[in-house]
Amino acid sequence: AQSVAQPEDQVNVAEGNPLTVKCTYSVSGNPYLFWYVQYPNRGLQFLLKYITGDNLVKGSYGFEAEFNKSQTSFHLKKPSALVSDSALYFCAVRANTGGFKTIFGAGTRLFVKA
């Protein structure tokens, strides 16, 4: 069965500092991995994805994520956090075996303090 774990309910970081939001996954076969961001009372917005190829994936708003197959992780990173990055972040996984369902993590709330 597929699953996604986001071990931190909340991450606090000062503006200008690097940020990391953690994600680990479990899936049969090779994974398709995604990060989404949600602002209050809005739908989710796609940030980036890993399908195949280079383990370091770059996405929107300066975010990037590194796929680590041995650790089954896909952590989201940004070199310098902005106050406007404060939001709820979701990691998601889908197996490459042709399924229709994407499994989402419980979400991590990011607070960036000025």
- Beta strands of the chain (E only): which ranges? 3-5, 10-14, 19-21, 24-26, 31-38, 44-50, 56-58, 64-68, 73-78, 87-95, 103-104, 108-113
CB of 80 to other proteins, least distance (A): 25
In angstroms, give the least distance from the CB of 48 to other proteins: 9
Q: Which is nearer to other proteins, 17 or 27 (CB)?
A: 27
Instruction: By CB under 8 A, name the one of 1, 54, 70, 101 that touches other proteins.
Output: 101
Note whether 40 binds other proteins by CB under 8 A. yes
53-67 in b/e form (b: 16+ CB < 10 A) is eeeebebeeebbbbb
Strand partners, 42: none
Site for other proteins in 41-80 (CB under 8 A): 41-46, 49, 51
Q: Which is nearer to other proteins, 17 or 45 (CB)?
A: 45
Q: Whole-angstrom Cα distance, residue 64 to residue 97?
A: 25
Binding residues for other proteins restricted to 73-92, rule: CB under 8 A: 88, 90
Which positions lie near other proteins, rule CB under 8 A? 32, 34, 36, 40-46, 49, 51, 88, 90, 96, 98, 100-102, 104-107
